């Protein structure tokens, strides 16, 4: 969910085909987690929420299957995350990282970049999206039709 990537993507460069293999080294390094975040979010995510989701992902990828959390525990851990308000676009570390990335960006003017998710003073311009239930999720499967239904 954090990366916006498919679990397997042969169109990615070598070493990035398998999401788990690519992400695993980033899970243990707190400062590297920004590299995992889908750049299309443009800073519109909670730093604490992303860190908690990454910790949860690390638990889910534990080598010992018995040490992995139950899916019900995963759901409960994810529920409060959309309510967190510490937006990344307000973080000085995130701003510095984005400025470094954007130095070759033609939209960068006088060393400052304004991303759609943040105003000029780097405050969030859009609210953090609420995820309620399966709406908008590509992972939700519709119920199977009953016998005799089209």
pLDDT of residue 26: 81
Q: What's the rounded Cα separation, in Å, for the pair 109 and 94?
A: 18
| Residue 136: pLDDT band with limits 50, 70, 90 | very low
Q: What's the rounded Cα separation, in Å, for the pair 119 and 4?
A: 24
- Does 141 score more than 60 pLDDT? no
| Residue 69: pLDDT band with limits 50, 70, 90 | very high
Q: Is the distance from CB of 78 to CB of 53 less than 8 angstroms?
A: yes
List Cα–Cα distances, 72 to 54, 69, 126, in angstroms.
Answer: 17, 8, 30
- Does 150 score more than 90 pLDDT? no
């Amino acid at each position: 969910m954090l990366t916006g990537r498919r679990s397997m993507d042969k169109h990615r460069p070598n070493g990035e085909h398998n999401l788990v293999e690519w992400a695993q080294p980033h899970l243990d390094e707190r400062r590297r987690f920004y590299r995992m975040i889908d750049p299309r979010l443009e800073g519109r995510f909670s730093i604490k929420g992303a860190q908690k989701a990454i910790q949860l992902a690390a638990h889910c990828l534990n080598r010992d299957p018995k040490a992995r959390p139950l899916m019900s525990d995963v759901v409960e851990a994810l529920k409060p995350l959309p309510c967190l308000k510490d937006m990344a676009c307000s973080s000085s570390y995130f701003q510095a990282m984005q400025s470094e990335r954007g130095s070759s960006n033609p939209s960068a003017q006088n060393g400052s970049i304004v991303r759609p998710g943040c105003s000029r003073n780097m405050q969030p311009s859009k609210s953090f999206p609420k995820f309620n239930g399966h709406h908008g999720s590509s992972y939700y499967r519709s119920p199977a039709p009953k016998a005799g239904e089209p």
